[in-house]
Amino acid sequence: MTTESDPELHAGVFWDQRYRDEAYAFGTEPNDWFRECLEGLPAGRLLLPGEGEGRNAVHAARHGWRVDAFDPSAHGQRKAGLLARQHGVEIDYRCCLLDAFRLEPGVYDALGIIFLHLPSTQRTPAYRHLAKALKPGGVLIAELYSKDQPALGTGGPPDPDKLYSLDCLETDFPDIDFRVARQCRRDIHEGCLHQGPSSVIQLFGHKT
C-alpha cells in the first residue's frame, strides 16, 4: 500500500527511503486511537495493511492478538521483526502491495487502517476490498488525516487528493455500522514525523 508516493508501484522505494534509518520514523508506541479501541475488544485475528515499522502490530500481539500485516517496505518489515523480537512476540508480516497480499474474506475479527492514505482513484476499491476480510461483527478501527491537516503542517501527505472528508470515508465502508465517525483535532506525538496538533478522522464500527 502507499500513502505519500504515486504510483503505487513506487511505494516500496519511497517507504524504504523513509524507514532505512535505525530510528523508528513514527516511533515504537502504537497509535493512540488504535490502542484505545483495541483495549475494549477480546483478542482475535487482526489485519493491519500498510503497517510500516510494526508499532501497532507488535502492540496488538503483546495483548494476545494474532496479527497479519503487510507493507511494501523491506526496511519496514525488518524493523517490525526486530521490534517483535524485542517484545517476545510473533507477527505475520509480509512485504508486498495490496494486490499481492492474499486476502481471505470473512476471517478477521478486526481491521486497523492507521494513516494509510491512498489517492482518490484507489481509495474506495481498496478500502472496500480490505473490509471484505472482516467477519460479520468484526471491528474496523481507522484514523486518517482530514483535508484540514495541511494548514497545521504536523504530518501527513502533502497531496490533497490523499486527504479525506468524513463523508467520503463513511461512503467507502457501506457495510460498517459506525459507533464513532468523527473529525476532530488532537495532539499527536509519533516519532519525528507526526508531531503536534493534527486534524484527523476517527472511525470505529462493526461489520453488519
With a cut of 90, say whether residue 4 has pLDDT above it. no
User: C-alpha cell of 77?
Assistant: 518489515
Q: Which is nearest to 183 in space by CA: 200, 206, 196?
A: 200
Predicted confidence (pLDDT) per residue in 72-107, tens digit: 999 999 999 999 999 999 999 999 998 899 999 999
Q: Which is nearest to 109 in space by CA: 64, 164, 151?
A: 64
What pLDDT is attached to residue 146?
98
What pLDDT is attached to residue 10?
54
CATH topology of domain 8-207: Rossmann fold (3.40.50)
With a cut of 90, say whether residue 26 has pLDDT above it. yes
Do residues 166 and 181 touch, judged by C-beta distance below 8 A? yes
Domain map of the chain by residue range? 8-207
- Distances, alpha carbon 64 to alpha carbons 68, 79, 90, 175, in Å: 13, 21, 10, 27
Nearest 5°: phi and psi at 169?
A: -70, -40
Return all residues near 100 (Cβ < 8 A) that are at least 6 apart.
Answer: none
